[in-house]
Homo-oligomer: A and B are copies of this chain.
Amino acid sequence: MNEIYLANNTTFNCPVEATTSLIGKKWVPSILMLLADKPYRFGQLQAALTKCSKKVLKQQLNLLSASDLISNTKATVANTVESTYQLTPLGQSLMPIVFAMKHWGNQHLICNRESA
């Protein structure tokens, strides 16, 4: 049987489990959704994900980078650092699945409290 080793040195027997270990992180879907549209700077991501702390945001960006789903370029402009994140081709290859999950969630999981 094949084992799957991820960049973060975790091991899985089940490919679905390995995939969810990436997508399953709390803010990763939202991050991917944003980056699917266009590259974002760190601060822009933070602004978009107001309830996500810098630590966790950076943590999950690191995971995505280590897994080669996103790439990161830094530049120094006017004495400040600009850190830009964007999807890699591998990250883009995952987006159809993320969108399928979004669609399924919207179709099947929404229940409005008023109508309940």
A102, B5: Cβ atoms closer than 8 Å = no
A111, B4: Cβ atoms closer than 8 Å = yes
Contact partners of A14 in chain B: CB under 8 A:
29-30, 33, 102, 105
Docked pose: A112 CA to B2 CA in angstroms:
8
Out of B30, B100, B109, B113, which one reaches A97, CB within 8 Å?
A: B100
Q: With A14-B30, A16-B98, A30-B17 as given contacts, are A5 and B113 in contact (CB-CB < 8 Å)?
A: yes
* Cβ of A9 to closest chain B Cβ, rounded Å: 11
Docked pose: A19 CA to B5 CA in angstroms:
24
Given A15-B105, A19-B101, 7 more pairs with CB closer than 8 A: A2-B106, A14-B29, A14-B30, A15-B103, A15-B110, A19-B102, A97-B97
